């Protein structure tokens, strides 16, 4: 079974790589593509995105890109994720998997 959009595990909690898209995910999936940045922001620019503990709008995130065109909802999501960077990260270098993170000091290991 093939799906065009990623599967999310939480009703309207459309979160991807630290960005919560909420209802915007459904709106992007239903949009007619291709869309220019101007068209995208005209229709959806005031939609709220949640980045960790902060909120912003689609316009605030994508407007700095200037002129661009999107062929799919996936391209829009990738652009958003690429533009928010560390803002969407909760606790930096946090892992709930236990042990050390790869960036931690490896000099203490002996073979």
Tens of pLDDT, residues 39-61: 999 999 999 999 888 899 999 99
Q: 91: which DSSP letter?
A: S
pTM of this prediction?
0.64
β-strands 54-57, 48-51: how paired?
antiparallel
CA distance 29 to 5: 8
Report the pLDDT value the prediction gives residue 55, as an integer from 0 to 100.
Answer: 92
Contact assessment for residue 76 and residue 28, using Cβ atoms and an 8 Å cutoff: yes
Tens of pLDDT, residues 13-41: 555 667 999 999 999 999 999 999 999 99
CA distance 104 to 110: 15
Tens of pLDDT, residues 62-109: 999 887 899 999 999 999 998 886 554 444 444 445 555 555 555 666
Contact assessment for residue 84 and residue 102, using Cβ atoms and an 8 Å cutoff: no
Q: What is the largest CA-CA distance in the chain?
A: 59
């Amino acid at each position: 079974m093939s799906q065009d959009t990623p599967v999310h595990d939480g009703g309207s909690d459309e979160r991807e790589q630290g960005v919560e898209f909420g209802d915007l995910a459904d709106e992007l999936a239903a949009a007619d593509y291709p869309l220019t940045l101007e068209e995208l922001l005209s229709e959806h620019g005031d939609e709220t995105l949640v980045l960790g503990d902060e909120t912003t709008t689609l316009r605030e995130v994508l407007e700095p890109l200037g002129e661009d065109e999107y062929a799919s909802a996936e391209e829009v999501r990738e652009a958003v994720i690429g533009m928010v960077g560390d803002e969407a990260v909760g606790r930096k270098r946090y892992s709930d998997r236990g042990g050390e993170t790869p960036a931690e000091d490896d000099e203490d290991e002996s073979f």
